[in-house]
């Protein structure tokens, strides 16, 4: 078991940062998502054995956070949220220092430092002082120092914090590679659900210190009650014809999205396509995208709350009840066949 948390509560005086959380994660890339102040950093510090829980407990890689903190920190790589890099050191000096601190002998530490800096894409700049680094480069040094001792688990606190959209995408791609190619399990925190959806196998959502949901990404992004229809031509005419046939349709670029009423909806779409004489490329139930679950309510939309792709505007705190309802709606199994005949594979899955 990678992480198990049992009835975990953490209070700072009158502030309850974590409130009776229970969840367990076997392995893989796990996202811990919540608005700023939801308790994510507190959770990571408890998992590292750096901060005692008020009540309840947790185990990391089978070790008890209350008693095995040093052993956990030896086996786990930690990337802190805030800037913590000495400006006058180079990436090589710093990462080498951290490798030595974790107990690696000098030759092995030198080799691991060079390899790790290459993996995170910092090889060229490795001898420059970090004071001159961009935010993206600093985030990659922080990731490198977490990776350098070949940990059994990575705990990454807001690795995309402060990055522009391109920098975010690069960091997410890097994390995905570390998770899949190197097979290192990790817990990644973010206040942006949409970006965690891209890299995580499992998502844990916290709000105001309480657990809203812990489930696999595939469960959350279960099939929606929307049919995606793609034809080779005459898209607007098909939309109008489907509307005339009594269906609710939404144009979506070169596709049309049709609200699924029942199994008969498939027949109406197929008949209409045949009548128009156009070629059908795709007809299938679309999967939910996580960010979409928030979209109906702008205060819960992570992208709208973070329009510039940076943390200038903190997202509004999620409203627990509304959020829970949206999760529930999104994961309701819809009836009817998952795909219609003659459908192409669903190639979605990237960013909305
Ligand atoms: N040392 C502390 N003393 C008092 N309150 C604290 C302390 N650390 C955190 N808190 C409070 O606990 C709550 C959870 O904070 P935490 O930093 O864990 O949240 P977070 O989800 O990581 O948010 P952020 O991304 O902004 O760091 C917040 O209300 C915060 O103000």
Check whether residue 183 and residue 207 sit in a common domain.
yes
Q: Is residue 251 part of a domain?
A: yes
Reply yes or no on whether the pLDDT at 318 is more than 60: no
Does 297 or 152 have the greater pLDDT score?
Answer: 152
Domain boundary among 198, 219, 240: 219
Residues 163-182 pLDDT 10s: 998 899 999 999 999 998 88
Residues 41 and 167 in one domain: yes
Q: What is the pLDDT of residue 315?
A: 31
| CA 301 – ligand 1 centroid, Å | 22
- Pair 186, 201 in one domain: yes
In this structure, is residue 327 part of a structural domain? Answer: yes
Per-residue pLDDT at 290: 56
CA of 225 to the centre of ligand 1 (A): 38
* Ligand 1 nearest atom to the CA of residue 206, by list position: 21
β-strand 153-156 against 255-259: which pairing, if any?
unpaired
Quote the pLDDT of residue 36: 84
The predicted structure's pLDDT at residue 137: 95
Of 30-34, 56-60, 246-250, 317-321, the poorest mean pLDDT is in 317-321
For residues 285 and 130, the model is more confident at 130
Q: Which of 8, 32, 33, 37 for mutating ligand 1's site (highest number of atoms within 8 Å of CB)?
A: 37
CA distance 109 to 92: 10
Tell me, yes or no, whether 118 lies in a domain. no
For 89-99, what is the mean pLDDT? 96
- Percent of the chain exceeding pLDDT 90 equals 62
The token pair at 235 is: 């898209």
Q: Which pLDDT value is given to residue 291?
A: 54
Query: Mutation test of ligand 1: which of 13, 40, 45, 207 has the most ligand atoms closer than 8 Å to its C-beta?
Result: 40
Of the residues 170, 196, 219, the one at which a domain ends: 219
pLDDT at 223: 64
* Among candidate residues 219, 235, 250, the one where a domain is terminated: 219
Q: Which atom of ligand 1 has the smallest separation from the CA of 45?
A: 18
Q: Is this structure's pTM higher than 0.80?
A: no
Domain assignment of residue 39, yes or no: yes
Answer yes or no: do 261 and 139 share one domain: no
3-state secondary structure of 196: helix
Residue 283 contacts residue 340 (beta carbons within 8 Å): yes
Residues 160 and 29 in one domain: yes
Mutate-to-test residue for ligand 1 from 12, 43, 302, highest number of ligand atoms within 8 A of CB? 12
Rounded distance, CA 191 to CA 40, Å? Answer: 9
Atom of ligand 1 nearest to the CA of 43: 18
- Asked whether residue 322 carries a pLDDT value surpassing 60, the answer given is no
Tell me how far the alpha carbon of residue 53 lies from the centroid of ligand 1, in angstroms. 14
In a domain, 191, yes or no: yes
- Is 177 in the same domain as 325? no
| CATH at residue 279 | 3.30.70.980
pLDDT-derived band of residue 273, with 50, 70 and 90 as boundaries? very high
SS3 percent helix, strand, coil of the chain, rounded to 5, is: 35, 25, 40
Based on the domain organization, do 172 and 264 belong to the same domain? no
CATH code (residue 151)? 3.40.50.300
Residues 176 and 272 in one domain: no
Q: Residue 98 CA to chain centroid, in angstroms?
A: 27
If asked whether residues 20 and 47 sit together in one domain, one would say yes
- φ, ψ dihedrals at 165, nearest 5°: -55, -40
pLDDT digits (tens, 9 = 90+) for 217-267: 877 666 678 888 999 899 999 999 999 999 999 988 888 999 988 888 999
Provide the domain limits for residue 155.
3-83+134-219
Residue (of 83, 79, 75, 14) closest to 45 by Cα position: 79
Shared domain for 183 and 239, answered yes or no, is no
> Within 6 Å (CB) of ligand 1, which residues are found?
12, 15, 17, 34, 36-42, 81, 158
Whether 254 and 271 share a structural domain: yes
Same domain, 240 and 191: no
193 alpha carbon – ligand 1 mean position (Å): 19
- pLDDT (tens digit per residue) in 95-146: 999 999 989 999 999 999 999 999 999 989 999 999 999 999 999 999 999 9
- Is 140 a member of any domain? yes
Q: Which atom of ligand 1 has the smallest separation from the CA of 41?
A: 22
Reading the block at residue 128, the tokens are: 């420059």
Residue 327 has pLDDT above 70, yes or no: no
Task: Give the ligand 1 atom nearest the CA of 38.
Answer: 21
Please tell me the total count of domains within the chain.
Answer: 2
Q: Residue 323 domain-assigned?
A: yes
Per the prediction, the chain carries an average pLDDT of 82
Across the range 61-89, mean pLDDT stands at 94
Site to probe by mutation for ligand 1, drawn from 9, 13, 19, 41 as the one with most ligand atoms within 8 Å of Cβ, is: 41
Find the helix packing angle between 135-147 and 106-119, rounded to 10°: 140
Instruction: Tell me, yes or no, whether 352 lies in a domain.
Output: no
pLDDT in tens, 4-52: 999 999 999 999 999 999 999 999 999 999 888 899 999 999 999 999 9
């Amino acid at each position: 078991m990678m992480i198990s948390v049992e009835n975990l509560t953490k209070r700072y005086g009158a502030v309850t940062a974590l409130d009776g959380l229970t969840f367990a994660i076997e392995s893989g890339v796990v996202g811990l998502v919540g608005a700023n102040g939801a308790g994510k950093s507190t959770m990571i510090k408890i998992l590292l054995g750096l901060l005692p829980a008020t009540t309840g407990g947790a185990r990391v890689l089978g070790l008890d956070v209350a008693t095995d903190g040093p052993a956990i920190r030896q086996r786990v790589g930690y990337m802190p949220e805030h800037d913590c890099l000495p400006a006058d050191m180079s990436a090589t000096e710093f990462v080498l220092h951290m490798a030595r601190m974790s107990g690696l002998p000098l030759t092995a530490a030198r080799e691991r430092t060079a390899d790790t800096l290459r993996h995170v894409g910092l090889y060229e700049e490795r001898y420059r002082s970090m004071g001159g680094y961009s935010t993206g480069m600093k985030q990659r040094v922080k990731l490198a120092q977490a990776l350098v001792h070949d940990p059994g688990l990575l705990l990454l606190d807001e690795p995309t914090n402060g990055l522009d959209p391109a920098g975010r995408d690069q960091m997410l791609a890097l994390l995905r590679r570390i998770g899949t190619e190197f097979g290192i399990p990790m817990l990644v925190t973010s206040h942006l659900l949409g970006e965690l959806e891209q890299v995580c196998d499992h998502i844990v959502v916290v709000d105001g210190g309480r657990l809203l949901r812990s489930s696999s990404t595939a469960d959350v992004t279960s099939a929606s009650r929307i049919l995606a229809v793609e034809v080779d031509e005459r898209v607007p005419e098909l939309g109008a014809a489907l509307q005339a046939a009594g269906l609710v349709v939404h144009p979506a670029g070169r596709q049309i999205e049709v609200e699924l009423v029942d199994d008969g909806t498939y027949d109406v779409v197929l008949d209409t396509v045949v009548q128009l004489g156009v070629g059908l490329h795709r007809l299938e139930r679309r999967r939910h995208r996580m960010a979409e679950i928030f979209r109906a309510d702008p205060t819960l939309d992570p992208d709208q709350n973070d329009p510039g792709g940076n943390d200038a505007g903190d997202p509004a705190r999620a409203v627990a009840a509304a959020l829970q309802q949206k999760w529930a709606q999104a994961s309701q199994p819809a009836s009817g066949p998952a795909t219609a005949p003659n459908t192409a594979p669903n190639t979605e899955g990237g960013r909305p």
